Amino acid sequence: MSDPGSKSFKKDSLIYIESDEDSSEVFVVETGEVGLTGTPGIPRFRTTLKTGDIFGFTSCLCRRPRMETAVARTDCSCAVLERERFIESVQSNPELASRIISYFAQELRAYDDLMTSPSEEASARDDEAHLYQLAQHLARKGRPAHAAHALRAYTSRFPAGMHVEEGTRQLAALEAKGAATPAPVTRGLCRVFADGQMIFCEHEPGNELYVIKSGKVEILKISPPDEILLSILRDGDIFGELSIVSTAPRNAAAVSSGESVLLPISRESLLSVFEKSPATVGRILGALSQRLWFTFIRLRAKVFENPLTRTYVLLENKLLEDRVSLLGTKPHTLGLGIAEILGMAGVPADQVEGVKNVLGSDPNFSFQFRQVTIDSPSALEAKARYFRTRDHLDSPELRGRKNPAARIGLDLHELRVPPGTIPEA
């Protein structure tokens, strides 16, 4: 493998821009200073980079568009590493891998703080109730082993909880009936889970991620009364990675599908694992970078006050999640109904009709039942950029006061579409 190349940049020149789809390179500052800027309202963990600092690695690792704009603040030079060369460098340097994970942790923490609304804070405070309700739901669904797992998690996490006496009685009754699944078998450094065995449940604390050595694992979102199968993971996949960089409880459940052999990796053993298994480094960093990137684009759609801006940016982000180029002109269909789109964009109830009118009058959209087809991704990107620009120009700093209810970016009363143009679901 050849040595990394080097590029020189004049002061104020662009190194790359936010949303650039060419993210195959990582940069290391050799001389001078580089500045990172991005979407207004989303603070950067790092804004000034100097000799030895690395940047551009998050998007590069997960093969996604750039999350920020990099500008030369002075005349500068940067070493440039292609993706594979960078991964090789990290695999051979466990301390560098740990530094990058620390960066992911701090930026994710900052994003999570911004993502948390007052209602979400209340929901987090009610985590005890959610875990107990999850156990009751699993019991009602005739899944006693899963219910026992959730009750063990509840009584362990909340020993003085409101429902701990009843939860303890329920757990004892389930165990007396033989419902409790035995602990996974240890095989070397791995744990072996039986078919249908719950590995962890939602709202349960965790400090380990898992690498699947063999078998399959189902990732489920259980929000009574609904259950959604998020994904089925196979050999080589990693899950539970957020536990390495966050103290937040699990946000989904993991269940073994058939026998599965899993390698657990805790925060404390991370550096040791990196030293013994360099190949694991790339997979973990890839999973963490993907987590950070998805958190960033969800946040990017929430920072705008204008509900139309949020809606267009949300649709733009959904294309990116599906790995659709925003430069493309071929139609793409999203499996989202209008109610889901407006709900995910956080459109206030008193502005729903206005936003629906704008979407219905946009010739780039075709709405069907629980689907929207975007005829031209590049046209959507241009419209989203237009709304973002209007949102910035109409910011509180420029107009001196906040009045979000008074502005939506367009005169919605003049943009009407006939009833039934957009299906409700």
Cα 365 from chain centroid (whole Å) = 26
User: How does DSSP assign 40-81, residue by residue?
Assistant: TTS--S--EE-TT-EESHHHHHHT---SSEEEESSSEEEEEE
What mean pLDDT is reported for the chain? 84
The last residue of one of the domains, among 75, 93, 115, is: 115
pLDDT in tens, 239-272: 988 888 777 888 889 999 999 999 999 888 887 8
The strand pair at 48-49 and 25-31 is best described as unpaired
Regarding whether 49 and 150 lie in a shared domain, the answer is no
Nearest-10 Cα torsion for 225, 226, 232, 236: -70
Average of per-residue pLDDT across 408-424: 41
Regarding whether 257 and 214 lie in a shared domain, the answer is yes
Contact yes or no for 212/262 (Cβ under 8 A):
yes
pLDDT score for 116: 54
Range of the domain at 330: 304-414
Regarding whether 217 and 142 lie in a shared domain, the answer is no
* Domain assignment of residue 409, yes or no: yes
Which amino acid appears at position 142 of this protein? G
* Domain assignment of residue 278, yes or no: no
* Domain assignment of residue 299, yes or no: no
* Domain assignment of residue 363, yes or no: yes
Q: Please tell me the distance from the alpha carbon of residue 134 to that of residue 154, in angstroms, as a whole number.
A: 10
pLDDT in tens, 71-117: 999 999 999 999 999 999 888 888 888 888 888 887 877 776 666 54
Q: Is pTM beyond 0.75 here?
A: no
Regarding whether 132 and 88 lie in a shared domain, the answer is no
Strands of 159-224, DSSP E: 185-187, 190-193, 198-200, 208-223
Domain count, the chain: 4
Contact yes or no for 319/332 (Cβ under 8 A):
yes
* Domain assignment of residue 274, yes or no: no
* Domain assignment of residue 380, yes or no: yes
> Is residue 4's pLDDT more than 70?
no
**86: helix, coil or strand?**
helix
> Is residue 416's pLDDT more than 70?
no
How far lies 292's CA from each of 110, 126, 250, 289, 374, in Å? 11, 25, 16, 5, 26
> What does residue 209 show for φ and ψ, rounded to 5 degrees?
-105, 170
Identify the burial level of 419 via C-beta atoms within 10 angstroms of its C-beta, where 0-12 means exposed, 13-18 middle and 19 or more buried: exposed
Regarding whether 161 and 85 lie in a shared domain, the answer is no
Regarding whether 384 and 336 lie in a shared domain, the answer is yes
* Domain assignment of residue 225, yes or no: yes
Cα 300 from chain centroid (whole Å) = 12
